[in-house]
Structure 1
Amino acid sequence: MTFYNRVDELDALASAFESPGSDFAVVYGRRRVGKTALLKEFCADRPHIYFLAAQEAEHRQREKFVEKLAAYFDERVPRIDDWDEAFAYLGEKLHAEDLVVVIDEFPYLVEENGSVPSYLQGFVDEQLQETESMLVLCGSSVSTMESEVLGHESPLYGRRTAQLDVQPFSFKQAREAIGYDTTDAIRSYAITGGTPLYLTLFDYESSLSENVQSQILSPTAVLYNEPEFLLRTELRTPARYMSILEAVALGHTTPNEISGATGIDSGPLSKYLQTLRRLRLIDREVPVTASGKKSKRSRYHVADEFLRFWFRYVEPNRSSIEEAPEVVYDGTIAPDLPTHVATTFEDVCQEAVWEGIRRGTFDPYSAVGRWWYGEDEIDIVGLAPDDDRLLLAECKWTSEPVGEALVESLRAKAANVRWGLGDREERFALFSKSGFVDGLEDDLSEKWSLLDLTEIDKLLSPERD
C-alpha cells in the first residue's frame, strides 16, 4: 500500500530520535487512522524492533515480546517470568546498540496486567535514559493511552519526550490519494473521509458509483460491516450506540432530538454521548461565538465522514442492500448524495479559510466555525477579537450558480450575529460548487470574496515556490 503524507508526524519522530539522549514517544489515535503505517515508515531505514501486542493471555504476550527481542539479537530465548525481567533484558541490550523499540497496541498489555506501566516506568527511569535509544508506545484505545500512559495518575506521566495524536487526513491531505477531479474528489471524501485505509480501497480509475457499490454496498466488502466491527472492538453492547450514531447521521443533532429518535432518556443518553465522544466517533459543536463549556446550544455530529455515510445510507437499508445493492444506490443514495456532500463541502470550505489565513488570502481570524441562533444559521463565521473583525461566509453545493439572493440572505443574517462592538468590521465570502451568476462580483465591494471550486482547489493545493 502506498504511504501518503504524514510529513509532520515523521519529522516529529525523526527530530526526537536524532536529538541527544534517549526518547520516549507516545503515538495514539482512532483505529484505522494509520498509526502502524506511520511507525513502520519511520522505522524502515532505522535499526528497530517492532512488537505488535495481541489480545491473549499475559504469559503469551510476554513470551512473544521476549522471543522478538531474542530473535533480533540472534540469541537463545531466555527464561523470563515477569515483565520486570523482560524490560531489564531489553535494557541490557540497549546499552550495546541504539534502537527504536515500538510496542504497538500497548493497551492490550495493560488489559491483561495493569502493572505494566509501572514496570515500564522503572525501565524508562533506570535503563532507557542511559542510552540513545527510543521507546514508542502506540495504541488505538485513546482512553487507555490517555489514562494509563499520559494521565496524571499514570506511573509514566511526565516522562514522554514526544507525543503524537494521529488524526484522519484533512481534505487537503487526502487529496493526494484521491484520483478524481475536484468535484468528485469532494464527493469521494464525503464518503470515505480521511481514514487512509478507506481512501486507498477505492479504485480511482472507476467511477464513484462503482466504488460505492463494490467497496461499501457489497456484503463481501471490507467496508460493508466496518462500523459494526469498530464498535464491537470498543464496546461490549454496541446496539444503543449504533442507534445513536444512526440518529445523528440522519440529522437529529441536539440531545432532545437524539432522545426522541432513539427512545433513550436524557440521563443515560448523556453517558452514551460521552462515551462516543471519548471514542472520537461523534463531536460536540457549539456556535463559534459561544463558550464551549457553558453553551446550551450544542449540536452533535458524526466525527467521521465514512461513518456518517454508512449510518445514513447503509445501516437503514441493510435488507435491501443484501437483495439489490444497485437499486439502493440508484434509488436511495444517488438522489440524496448532494445533501450529504453539502455538509462535507462546508468543512472543506472551512479548511480553505484556514489555509487562506495562512497564505494571506484572508485576513487573520483566531476562531473559525459554524454559527446558529434560533432559525438562523451561517456556514462559516470567523472571529478576530483584537481587530473587532468578523468574517461571514456561506457554502453552496448546488447545481446552479450563486446569485444576489444569497448575498442578501447573508447580509440579513449578519445583523443577528451578536458579537463585537457596534462598529465592527464585517467581511463576507461565498463558496460555490457551480460558480456565480455573471456580474455578481462586479456588484459587490472589496469586502466580499467569491470562491468557486477552482479557487478552493488552488487554496488546498501545495504552494509552489
Structure 2
Amino acid sequence: MTFYDRADELDALDTAFESPGHDFHVVYGRRRVGKTELLKEFCDDRPHIYFLAAQEAEDRQREKFVEKVADYFDDRVPRIDGWDEALDYLGDKLATERLVVVIDEFPYLVDENDSLPSYLQSFVDEQLQDTDSMLVLCGSSVSTMESEVLGHESPLYGRRTRQIDVQPFSFQQARDVIAYDIEDAIRSFAVTGGTPMYLTLFDYDRSLDENIRTQILSPTAVLYNEPEFLLRTELRKPARYMSILEAVATGHTTPNEIAGTTGIDSGPLSKYLQTLRRLRLIDRDVPVTASAKQSKRSRYRVADEFLRFWFRFVEPNRSSIEEAPEIVYDGTIEPNLPDHVATTFEDICLEGVWEAIRRSELGPYAEVGRWWYGEDEIDIVGLAPDDDRILLAECKWTTEPVGHSLVSSLRDKADRVRWGSPTRDEEFALFSRSGFVEGLADDLNDNWSLFSPEDLKNLFAAEK
C-alpha cells in the first residue's frame, strides 16, 4: 500500500529517535486513521520490535510479546510468569542495543490486566531511561489511551516524552489520494472523509457512483458494515448510539431534536452524546461568537464524512440495499447527494479560509467557525478581536452561478451579528461551486473575495 503524507508525524518521530536519551511516545487516534501504517513506515529502516496485541487471554498475550523480543535477539525464549518479568527481560536486552519497541493496540493488554501501566511505569523509570531506545504505545481506543496512559490518574502520567494524536486527513491532504478533478474530489471526500483506509479503497479510475455502488452498497464490501463494526468494538450496546448518529446525520442536530427523533430522554441523551464525543464520532458546535462552555445553542454533527454518509443513506435503507441496491442509489442517494455534499463543501471552504489566512489572502483571524442566531445563519465567520475586524462568508454548492442576491443577503445578515464595535471593519468572502455571474467581481470592492472550486484547488496546491 502506498504511504501518504504524515510528514509532520514522521519528522517528530525521526527527530526524537535521532536525539540522545530515551523516548517514550504515545500514539493514538480513531480506528482506520493510519496509526499502524505511520509506525511501520517509521520503523521500516530502523532496528525495531513491533508487537501487535490481540483480544486474547493475558498469558498468551505475554507469551507472544516475549517471543517477539527473543526472536529479535535470536535468543531462547525464557520462562516468564508476569508482565513485570517480561518487561525486565526487554530492559536487559535494551541495555545491549538501541532500538524502537512498538506495542500496538495497547488497550487490548490493559483490558486483560489493568495493572500493566504500573509495570510499564517501573520499566520506564528504572530501565528505559538509562538507554537510547524508544518505546511507543499505540491504541485506537481513544478513551483508554487518554485515561490509562495520558490521564492524571495513570501511573504513566508525566512519563511520556511526546504524544501524537493522529487525525484523519484534511481535504488538502486527501487530495494526494483522490485522483479526481477538484469538483469530483469534493464530492468524493463527502463520501469517504479523510480516513486513509476509506480513501484508498476507492478506485479513482472509476466514477464516484461506481465506487459507491461497489465499495459501500455491496453487502460483501468492507464499508457496508464498517460503522456498525466500529461501534461494536467500542461499545457493548451500540443500538442507541447508532440511533443518535442516524438522527444527527439526517439533520436533527440540537439536543431537543435528537431526543424527539430517538425517543431518548434528555438526561441519558447527554451521557450518550458525551460518549460519542469522547469517541470522536460527533462534534459539538456553538456559534463562533459564543462561549463554548456557556452557550446553550449547541448543535451536533457527525465528525466523519463517511459515517455521516452511511448513517444518512445506508443504515436507514439496509433492507432495500440487500434486495435492490441500484434502486436505492438511483432513487435515494443520487438525488440527495448534492445536499449531502453541500455540508462537506462548507467544511472544505472553512479549511480554505484558514489556508487563505496563512497565505495572507485574507486578513488574520483568531477564531473561525459557523454563526447562527434564530433564523439567521452564516456559513463562516472569522473574528479578529485585536483588530476589531470580522470576516463573513457564504458557501454555495449549487448548479447556478452566485449573483448579487447572495451579496445583499450576506450584507443584511452581517448587520445582525452582534460582535465588535459599531465601527468594526468587515471583510466578505463567497465560495461557489458554479462560479459567479458575469460582472459581479467588478461590482464589489476590495473587501470582497470570490472563490471558485478552481481557486480552492490552487489555494491548497500552493502549499505543496
Superposition TM-score, scaled by structure 2 size: 0.99
Find the residue that maps to 1:460 and give its secondary structure. helix
The corresponding residue for 2:83 is 83
Q: Does 1:287 align with 2:287?
A: yes
Hey, what does 1:329 align to over in structure 2?
329
What stretches of structure 2 of length at least 5 have no aligned partner? none
In the alignment, the residues of structure 1 paired with residue 260 and residue 459 of structure 2 have an alpha-carbon distance, to the nearest angstrom, of 41
**What residue number does 1:460 align with?**
460
Cα distance between partner residues in 2 of 1:462 and 1:5 = 16
Amino acid aligned to 1:246:
E
* Amino acid aligned to 2:266: S
For residues 326 and 319 of structure 1, what CA distance do their matches in structure 2 show? 13
Q: What letter is aligned with 1:79?
A: R
Partner of residue 122, structure 2? 122
Partner of 1:414: 414
SS in 1 for 2:200: helix
What SS is found at the alignment partner of 2:461? coil
Matched residues in 1 for 2:408 and 2:20: separation?
60
Corresponding position of 1:365 = 365
Q: What secondary structure, in the 3-state scheme, does the structure 1 residue paired with 2:380 have?
A: strand
Find the counterpart in structure 1 of residue 29 from structure 2.
29
Tell me the residue number matched to 1:10: 10
Stretch of structure 1 that moved more, 11-20 or 253-262: 11-20
1: CA distance between counterparts of 2:203 and 2:290? 42
Separation in 2, partners of 1:449, 1:72 = 59
Is residue 72 of structure 2 the alignment partner of residue 72 of structure 1?
yes
- SS of residue matched to 1:24: strand
The 1-side partners of 2:93 and 2:404 are apart by 72
1:46 maps to which residue?
46
| Correspondence 1:136 to 2:136 | yes
1-side partners of 2:111 and 2:317: how far apart?
A: 36
Give the corresponding residue for 1:277. 277
* Aligned mates of 2:32, 2:271 — CA distance in 1: 25
Deviations 1:345-384 (A, max 9, x none): 0000000010111111111001000000000000000000
Structure 1 vs Structure 2: percent identity of aligned residues?
79
Provide the secondary structure at the position in 1 that maps to 2:368.
strand
Q: Distance in 2 between matches of 1:154 and 1:320?
A: 48
Q: Deviations over 1:367-417 (max 9, x none)?
A: 000000000000000000000000000000000000000000000000111
Measured against aligned partners, the alpha-carbon deviations of 1:248-286 in whole angstroms (never above 9, x if no partner) come to 000000000000000101011001101100110000000
Aligned letter for 1:172? Q
- How do 1:114-263 and structure 2 match up within 5 A? 114-263=114-263
> Counterpart amino acid of 1:16?
A
Deviation at 1:447, TM superposition (A): 0.3
| CA distance in structure 1 between the aligned counterparts of 2:152 and 2:321, rounded to whole angstroms | 48
Shift of 1:15: 1.0
Give the drift of 1:463: 3.0
What is the SS of the residue equivalent to 1:33?
coil
Letter of the 1:125 counterpart: D
What is aligned with 1:426? 426
2:389 aligned partner, one-letter code: R
Give the Cα separation in 1 of the matches to 2:420 and 2:463: 34
Whole-Å Cα distance in 2 between the matches of residues 159 and 3 of structure 1?
Answer: 30
Write the distance in 2 (CA, Å) between the matches of 1:416 and 1:188.
Answer: 35
The amino acid across from 2:421 in the alignment is L
The residue type paired with residue 56 of structure 1 is: E
Q: 3-state SS of the aligned residue for 1:143?
A: helix
In the alignment, does 2:309 pair up with 1:312? no
SS in 2 for 1:412: helix
Match of 2:400 in 1: 400
Aligned residue in 2 for 1:56: 56
CA distance in 1, matches of 2:118, 2:462: 45
Question: How many angstroms apart in 2 are the aligned matches of 1:242 and 1:84?
Answer: 40
Instruction: Report the residue type matching 1:263 in the other structure.
Output: G
**Residues in 2 aligned to 1:366 and 1:460: alpha-carbon distance in whole angstroms:** 20
Aligned to 2:449: 449
Once the two structures are superposed, the pairs formed by residues 341-352 of structure 1 within 5 Å of their partners are 341-352=341-352
Q: C-alpha distance in 2, partners of 1:116/1:22?
A: 20
The residue matched to 2:377 in structure 1 has which SS?
strand
Task: For residues 84-123 of structure 1, give each alpha carbon's deviation from its aligned partner in whole angstroms, at most 9, with x where no partner exists.
Answer: 1100100000011000000000011111111100000010
Q: How far does the alpha carbon of each residue in 1:194-214 deviate from its partner, in whole angstroms, 9 at most, with x for none?
A: 000000000000000000000
- The offset of 1:462, in angstroms, is 4.1
Q: Deviations over 1:268-315 (max 9, x none)?
A: 100110110011000000000100010000000000000000000000
Q: Where do 4+ consecutive residues of structure 1 move more than 3 Å? A: none
Normalising by structure 1, what TM-score?
Answer: 0.99
Q: Which letter maps to 2:112?
A: E
Specify the alignment match of 1:109 in structure 2: 109
Matches of 2:282 and 2:454 in 1, distance apart? 31
RMSD after superposition:
0.6
User: Structure 1: how far apart are the matches of 2:292 and 2:12?
Assistant: 30
